[in-house]
A = this chain, B = another copy of it.
Amino acid sequence: MSLTAIREKFRKFLAQKSLRVTNQRLAIFDAAFAQKEHFTAEELLDSARAIDDSVSRATVYRTLPIMTESALLREVDIGTGEKYYYPNQSGGSTQVAQVVCVDCDKIFEISAPFMEWYGSTVSSKLGLTPVSQRLQVSAHCDSWRLTGKCPRRS
């Protein structure tokens, strides 16, 4: 899906939910889809301000849930206190696991279709209906194991 097509999808989502298309929301959208890695709210704020310096932290925090709901962004919580986001290029609701480097917090997204099967199997045994599942692996990079340093870390 092209960037303009996705931006159009965002406009439509806003319209459909009777939400207004503001410059700030568009700036945040553009900033989000310009990211190459997972990003935090704070990083998104910086990028969005480079596009439209009137964007405030509050608006970023108010816009993120909208973009997550509309499946434009994915939210990842790796338990570090802050949430990470990344553009959902695929458009679908693919099941993904994360491998997280505990040294630099880099996140790798790994397709894990079996997760959904596991979720249903385990839930039904408990009389529950699964909503979502997450699978995360924390790991050291091998260079850390060998040299005590993570190449991506300060």
Contact = CB atoms under 8 A, between A and B. Distances in A.
A145 interface: yes
> DSSP majority for the A interface?
strand
A142 B118 contact: no
Copies of this protein in the assembly total 2
Given A79-B77, A99-B122, A140 B131 contact: yes
A132 interface: yes
A99 to B, nearest CB: 6
For chain A, give the interface size range: 20 to 34
Given A79-B77, A122-B97, A126-B108, A135 B133 contact: yes
Contacts of A115: 135
Contacts of A126: 99, 108, 139
A152 to B, nearest CB: 12
21 contacts: A77-B79, A79-B79, A97-B118, A99-B122, A99-B123, A101-B128, A115-B135, A118-B135, A118-B137, A122-B137, A127-B141, A128-B139, A128-B140, A128-B142, A129-B140, A130-B139, A131-B138, A133-B138, A134-B135, A135-B135, A135-B136
Interface of A: 77, 79, 97, 99, 101-102, 108, 110, 115, 118-119, 122-123, 126-142, 145
